[in-house]
Amino acid sequence: MDVLGKSRTYTFRVRYAETDQMGIAHHSNYFVWFEEGRSNFCRDIGLPYGEWEKNGVFMPVVEVHCRYKSSLLYDEPVTMEVFPAERGAATVTFGYRLRHEDGRLAAEGWTKHAFADEQGRLIRRETDFIRRLKELTFSDKSSADSFKPAQTDAE
């Protein structure tokens, strides 16, 4: 999976509730972590996802994939890399890599998202808001500062 936009890195620890009786983090939680990474990513480029929904733009998940390489354990510090990976006409794909503290790859995955309105209907037309979202997401120099003037210009 190619890294098209700037990659950002977050760390977290595996919660006890996220383990299962095999003694490892349950595989369904990886998608919750990916989502938290995406959420941090959007906040950090100056576009908190909460703002999207207030603008009537929802980002439902349309497809996901994950490959598990090495189990993650309770309380283990995990490093998660988040990056924009594909920019479709009506979709955007994020990629993720999870690593143990020593740098070994624990898992890698991706999630593909559509843009939808509040009723869940796909937004196929690229609105100003979505264009800016995509530009910002895939820009190497993305920042809240570079975004705000653009927003002003458009109004």
Catalytic residues: 20
d(CA 129, CA 127): 5
DSSP lists the bridge partners of residue 107 as 68, 98
Q: How far is the CB of 6 from a copy of itself (least distance, A)?
A: 21
d(CA 134, CA 108): 23
Residues lying near a copy of itself in the complex (CB under 8 A) = 13, 15-17, 19-24, 26-29, 31-32, 35-36, 39, 43, 48-50, 53, 58, 60-68, 71, 74-75, 111, 120
Q: How far is the CB of 31 from a copy of itself (least distance, A)?
A: 4
Instruction: Quickly tell me which residue has 């740098």 as its tokens.
Output: 103
Residue closer to a copy of itself by CB (options 17, 89) is 17
Residue closer to a copy of itself by CB (options 10, 138) is 10
Q: How far is the CB of 65 from a copy of itself (least distance, A)?
A: 5
d(CA 105, CA 147): 33
Q: Identify whether the C-beta of residue 98 lies closer than 8 Å to the C-beta of residue 31.
A: no
